[in-house]
Amino acid sequence: MDAIANAGGERPAIGFDPLSAEYLADPYPFLAAAAAKPAFYCQSIDHWVVTRYRDIRHIFRTPALFSAANANSPLRPPCPMAVKALAEGGFKSVPTLANVDPPAHTRVRKIANVAFTPKRVAEMESFVRELTVKFCDERLRDGHADMVRDFAWALPALVLFRILGVPDVEVPRVKEGSWSRILFIYGQPPESEQVRAAEGLAAFWRLAENLVRDRMTNPRQDFVSDLVKAKDSEGKGLATEQAATIVLNLLFAGHETTTGLLGNAFRRLLADRDSWQAICRDRRLIPGAIEEILRLDTSVIAWRRRTTQQVDIGGVAIPQEAKLLLLLGAANRDPSVFPDPDRLDIRRANAREHLSFGAGPHLCLGAPLARLQGKVVLEEVSARLPDLRLVPGVTLEFAPNVSFRGPLSLPVEWGPSPARSAH
């Protein structure tokens, strides 16, 4: 924390490093210290960092001044070998949805909305419940499990696959592709790892592209089939590469974030017995608890934008074409919006105002699906295992990147504790 104590001073903060081991292990003390200044330049990642709720919400809602063009770009320019690996692997993703600005974004988003209707999501509830019950029966046995590796890792991917029309056997390949993408785009791996990540990302791209090409000739009852035939108001559809880019983005954003949400939810709720017991007693508290987890420990802790002209953020002049890192994790604990912000309060009246799904034109397309999965999983697990608890003394690990956050593993146990049953 000392390293960023000058965050409130005149000079830009140095030493704020969102990829350092200390930050990844527990970013919240760093975010609290960073929030002493509304914005500052961070040398280690060459981004301007924005910390406060109102500024970040304004940035999300003002695409003319704050472009989303860099939202899915590598944090730093990749090395030439990695660029070559991407090209040779056939990677042809084009700016399409999360990283284009209105009016181009408006057109594509309308098409994505058509193919990803609230009705399609609502219809998923019975499938999500069936799958959750199956996971509980098959994977939560014997008094101990890993709530992330055994449960939260695959479940959201299988839900998403059902919507997209991807076969279940693809879970390991999609998860591997997602890991490559996390490292390559949102991290800063050394050159040797960059090449491997670029190869993984290219393979991930080919999977999405093949899926799109298949549905163009063999349409089925699924999202990808709807997407390739959807038209905008002028009767124009998406180019193959645009459709494949959307599918690729969904094959990443549509499960990795929810795996993080579930991992963070179990971690925080099980560490706070009163909250856990409250949701076990009264499942009506669960939707509010999910919002509070999204606020307190979001699975997308930072997102990116780029300025289109010089701007003023809280009195700090930021140049044109500056890359911005928006600290959603800091905004969600801004005390001027959320009183006593570090406290988990599953009954917090305004928890839903968090910025974890963004805001404005790019507001997360999958938010209803993520919320649905959080609700169903907590309902089923809390009903079956009210004495579920964290295995004590475990050091949690997180993916080395600036945006996506959730424990990679979360050992839990239930029933008589091993120590007690030994006597």
Contacts to ligand HEM by CB under 6 A: 60, 68, 97-98, 109, 160, 249-250, 253-254, 257-258, 261, 298-300, 303, 356-360, 362-366, 369-370
3-class secondary structure, 310? coil
Q: Which residues is 347 bridged to in the sheet?
A: none
Q: What are phi and psi of 98, to 5 degrees?
A: -70, -20
- 332: CB partners within 8 A, 6+ apart: 53, 294, 295, 296, 298, 338, 341, 354, 355, 356
Task: Give the nearest distance from C-beta 328 to ligand HEM in angstroms.
Answer: 7
- What whole-number distance in Å separates Cα of residue 184 and Cα of residue 52? 27
Task: Give the nearest distance from C-beta 186 to ligand HEM in angstroms.
Answer: 12
3-class secondary structure, 93? coil
- What whole-number distance in Å separates Cα of residue 335 and Cα of residue 367? 24
- What whole-number distance in Å separates Cα of residue 324 and Cα of residue 1? 22
Nearer to ligand HEM, 4 or 327 (CB): 327
Task: Give the nearest distance from C-beta 255 to ligand HEM in angstroms.
Answer: 7
Q: Which is nearest to 377 in space by CA: 127, 96, 72?
A: 127
Contact 176, 199 (CB under 8 A): no
Task: Give the nearest distance from C-beta 6 to ligand HEM in angstroms.
Answer: 29
What six digits make up the tokens of 59?
């940035």
Task: Give the nearest distance from C-beta 373 to ligand HEM in angstroms.
Answer: 8
Straight-line distance from the first to the last Cα atom of the chain, in angstroms, rounded to the nearest whole number: 44
Contact 163, 53 (CB under 8 A): no
- 321: CB partners within 8 A, 6+ apart: 306, 307, 308
Task: Give the nearest distance from C-beta 152 to ligand HEM in angstroms.
Answer: 11
Nearer to ligand HEM, 306 or 362 (CB): 362
User: Where on the phi/psi map is residue 46: left (φ > 0), alpha (ψ -120 to 50), or beta?
Assistant: left
Nearer to ligand HEM, 204 or 413 (CB): 204
Element at 313 (helix H, strand E)? strand 311-313
Q: How far is CA 38 from the centre of its chain?
A: 23
Q: Which is nearest to 178 in space by CA: 147, 152, 204?
A: 204
3-state helix, strand, coil in the chain (%, to 5): 55, 10, 40
Task: Give the nearest distance from C-beta 108 to ligand HEM in angstroms.
Answer: 8
Q: What are phi and psi of 224, to 5 degrees?
A: -65, -40
Nearer to ligand HEM, 276 or 303 (CB): 303
Task: Give the nearest distance from C-beta 359 to ligand HEM in angstroms.
Answer: 6
Nearer to ligand HEM, 200 or 366 (CB): 366
Task: Give the nearest distance from C-beta 84 to ligand HEM in angstroms.
Answer: 29
Nearer to ligand HEM, 8 or 361 (CB): 361
Nearer to ligand HEM, 195 or 365 (CB): 365
Task: Give the nearest distance from C-beta 14 to ligand HEM in angstroms.
Answer: 27
Q: Among all residues, whose Cβ is closest to ligand HEM?
A: 366
E runs forming strands in 342-381: none
Nearer to ligand HEM, 109 or 215 (CB): 109
Nearer to ligand HEM, 6 or 373 (CB): 373
Nearer to ligand HEM, 226 or 413 (CB): 226
Element at 422 (helix H, strand E)? none
- What whole-number distance in Å separates Cα of residue 174 and Cα of residue 172? 6
Task: Give the nearest distance from C-beta 1 to ligand HEM in angstroms.
Answer: 26
Nearer to ligand HEM, 145 or 157 (CB): 157
